[in-house]
Structure 1
């Protein structure tokens, strides 16, 4: 039993070293500059140790983004499944607006957008599995609407960050809700 705790503690420390190093590297570098070799050297672990936890550097990115998405899922699942768009929008911007510089960089920096967009696709699917107000439309139209909502939300957030968060989060949320709801309101009426 004592041996198990030591192993668990070592595993935990190794994962923390990987994550802390990864966070530092994301804040300093573009995505294509982050390599297993560089990360393991900085974290002072053997490359084989890294591969015990992750299959590749992309798997580490995806793990981080899944954790961030799970925090969003916890919040969005607190409101009714048939949530009005303004409530879903509020939860989205409250969750994303409270992120640290590490997550801001993963969401906003151009080199990380591929990973970020995957996370938001997963989040949108989660919402649509709960409630799909566009179910009456063909799948191709649903895809276009969902893409519009996801990319517009992300771009609004990215612009807010680029502008130094010059307007309060509650005003951003209200503005984005107005822009997004008017963009799709005519489709909901059909």
Structure 2
């Protein structure tokens, strides 16, 4: 797991290891509790880190989620900006990143902490779709279609994490492909 460091922190292996331990401890505790019920003391005990070390990096437990969201957002940005994708390639990259970060994204969604990440992801997917599918002179209604598509696509994942007992992952992937294809047919 890569960790984004706050400004001024050295890219020190100890910092990376500490943040990773705190993130993993948070995910472990989230298996049985909501984020509001997790204390710094409990988190530190689970991560085998003292409270003073925790407060060097974070001011509260939910700050770990913010750090994680920034990291996940950066990962998606790098993947999307490194190459031009068609709609199917974009979906494949997105599915791959989602599955690599399954626990974190799931806990963000289940704890209602995903809003900033969702906004960033929607914007990135929209910009990537515009760059890869549209020419410079584009009808505004095509941008509306891609905005609708990118927002809806991300929302399907958020919905799925809350309803995974009703919709399996393969169904989600197949449905998203159909949605993307149907929306792309609207472009002119």
* TM-score (structure 1 length as normaliser): 0.66
Higher helix share: 1
Q: Does 1:162 align with 2:160?
A: no
1:21 to 22, 25, 29: 25
Distance in 1 between the 2:46 and 2:151 partners? 38
Asked if 1:55 corresponds to 2:59, the answer is yes
Corresponding position of 2:175? 175
Report deviation, 1:150: 2.1
Distance 1:145 1:178, change over 3 A: closer
1:96-129 Cα deviation digits (max 9, x unpaired): 23445x23632553xx2x3224212212222334
Q: Partner of 1:162: helix, strand, or coil?
A: coil
Is the Cα contact below 8 Å between 1:135 and 1:142 reproduced in 2? no
Gaps of 5+ in 1: 1-7
Q: CA RMSD in A?
A: 3.6
What is the SS of the residue equivalent to 1:51? helix
> In structure 1, what is the equivalent of residue 107 of structure 2?
106
Distance in 1 (CA, whole Å) between partners of 2:156 and 2:16 is 38
Q: Give 1:178 deviation, angstroms.
A: 0.7
| 8 Å contact kept, 2:126–2:146 | no
Could you tell me which residue of structure 1 aligns to residue 114 of structure 2? 116
Tell me: higher relative CO, structure 1 or 2? Use CA pairs within 8 A at least 6 residues apart: 1
Q: Distance in 2 between matches of 1:98 and 1:164?
A: 20
Unaligned runs of 5+ in 2: 1-11
